[in-house]
Amino acid sequence: MNPRDLPEVVSELIIEMHEVRAELSALNGRIDRLDRRVENLETEMRLTREENRENTDRLLVGIQRMLDPFLNRLLEHDDQLRSHQGRLNNLENPTA
């Protein structure tokens, strides 16, 4: 390399260095924005999970409330059937 070309080479290197710095700065900005997006998505996912748990709990309570009267009626009918069966057994096989 010719020593006379040195100032021009140095100036080109400086220009190139500034361009690389600008590109790195832009990339760092993009990375920062992506990091914030990821954090926001993680927060949204956590909130969605909590909401889903709450909704599931509410749904289960609602189903239980809906089924309680039906189950109570079934138990009452079962008791009635047992009572009727007992009476029928007494009529078919009196012990006195």
**pLDDT tens for each residue of 1-47:** 788 889 999 999 999 999 999 999 999 999 999 999 999 999 999 99
Is 2 among the domain residues? no
Q: What is the pLDDT of residue 5?
A: 87
DSSP string, 9-70: HHHHHHHHHHHHHHHHHHHHHHHHHHHHHHHHHHHHHHHHHHHHHHHHHHHHHHHHHHHHHH
18 occurs within a structural domain: yes
Whether residue 82 lies inside any domain: the answer is yes
Domain extent, residue 49, equals 7-92
pLDDT: which is higher, 96 or 51:
51
Report field, pTM of the whole predicted structure over 0.75: no
**Residue at 17 is within a domain:** yes
* Number of domain units in the chain: 1
